[in-house]
Structure 1
Amino acid sequence: MVDIIIGSIAPAGIQPNKPGSGGAPIEAELLHVRDPRQRIVGPLGQERRKQPRKDPQNGKVLTLLIPDSTLLPKDFDVKKYKVLLRFMKK
């Protein structure tokens, strides 16, 4: 499962100095939409999460299901890829 965070980030599109990946669109099912995480403070006043993050204030967290994971790149990693979304009504 992959969480995609949408918020105040750089506009989506092809960067002028980077070539396009040429990947085909992959259909996904939207399972859940929620507000961004809020700070969680433990009993001693410290962050309880192992990886502290600050989600964008106006962001939304989407949970997507990719029915056929073989369509994903073999080296799929959050550090190597960015995701562009296109929404279509059913």
Structure 2
Amino acid sequence: MKKFIVLVIVLGCVCFSSMTLAVNVNTATAEEISKELKGVGPAKAGAIVLYRKQHGPFKDLKELTKVKGIGAATVDKNRENIQLDVE
């Protein structure tokens, strides 16, 4: 029984540690974007924020590919973790 409880705790920790939170690219800071999106480091996250400041909020995911360094593959692998809500 002890082994079962330990196994449940370990699996729970692994599941929660690998979860990525959704990030709103229309309101998030570059630091928040780079932390939550796979394949997006500080430079690319900064480019997302700069594009947003120059062009206004993103209207759809495809628009993210207009940001230098952000391609369709990056958008596809993060699709479930990107929010576009305008507050």
Q: In which range does the TM-score fall when normalised by the shorter chain?
A: under 0.3
Bigger relative contact order (CA 8 A; separation at least 6): 1
Normalized per residue, which structure has more helix?
2
Normalized per residue, which structure has more strand?
1
Q: How high is the TM-score relative to the length of structure 2? A: 0.26
Q: How high is the TM-score relative to the length of structure 1? A: 0.25
